[in-house]
Structure 1
Amino acid sequence: MTLPSATVRPVRRADLAAVAGIYEHYVLHSVATFDETPRPAEEWEAKLDELAVRGLPFLVAEEAGQVLGFAYAGPWRPKPAYRHTVEDTVYLAPDATGRGLGGALLAEVIDACARAGFRRMIAVIADTGSDASAALHRRFGFTDAGRLTAVGHKHGRWIDTLLLQRSLSDGSATGSTTRPAGPDGTPED
């Protein structure tokens, strides 16, 4: 997918340092992730390999050779009966927000997972005080599934998580609809 000046494409090993840098910002300066120490490059390489083996997407948004954000889908839970459900992850460089990159990344992740035959996607969103992530997911048809209160503690505060979910397909790899949802929850034309 190409945005006015950015491209969404599969991640390359050469991108992983930029991915790690983006994620490090959120680890150190926010509660958007419950990680408390940045992930070393080896962990990002292992993540890339794990997702590739499972046929799951790991994407970046790139502009003029610079990685501005990343997104991937991973297994929702490790037990076998959850194998048809995935969880999405989307992060943007702090100076790349508000340009539609999060939506472009999420749309591509949803499409890739639907094409692969996954049935449901879950979003686990930390209550950071901003509704941006939840609003993004709702635009793409995610609906509220619940709230877990005070389940994380980071930077001296207790944090809730919001759970959202959306249908991807019937599990038969028949395609998807990733257009943002209208007021009634159906995809917009």
Structure 2
Amino acid sequence: MKGRPLLIRHVERLAPPDTATLNSLLDTHPGVPLLVTYTPEAAPGPCLQRLLDTLAARSVSLPALRERPDDIRELLTSLTPGPTPGQPPLTWTLDALRALERHPWPGNITELAHLVRALTEGRRSTGPVRRTELPDPVREGPAPRPLTPMERAERAAILEALRLNGGNKARTAAALGIGRATLYRKLRGYRG
């Protein structure tokens, strides 16, 4: 059996009879070009474990996209379709690239590919893609960590002092007895 490889995504979702069929195919045609993606969840059943063992000698582990943000720029080059006649190529501003690199990508490369496709198909403006054109979750960055009760109280005190001082950060810092740099750092840390 030669030709194009067969790609099966999320092989862990296959029913046991389908996995048994794949095992049988590999037994009778050991050189079949088969690519599978596997996301470990629960312990695999015996059929799936046999398939994974068969493919283990030629497997590659690929970390999630969130663990390799440096790959985003190269992936964008690969995922962005070539320019069509009368349309400029899709390019990205530095601010948009940084937002893409900060996003946790729960949908992995598939989510990135969908984003690129949606921008390519639905974009009305010209020039590089700006951060403001990205979907809200990507544009806004990862959700902030939950604040401790002490941090929430401190944040509330800072926001109240800012309100009492008309938003003037220098007066707010002086009223709180902290330096302006400390106030800015705390506001950045409590963002969201």
Q: TM-score, normalised by structure 1?
A: 0.24
Higher relative contact order (CA 8 A, sep 6+): 1
The structure richer in strand per residue is 1
- Bigger fraction of residues in helix: 2
Which of the pair has more CA radius of gyration?
2
Q: TM-score, normalised by structure 2?
A: 0.23
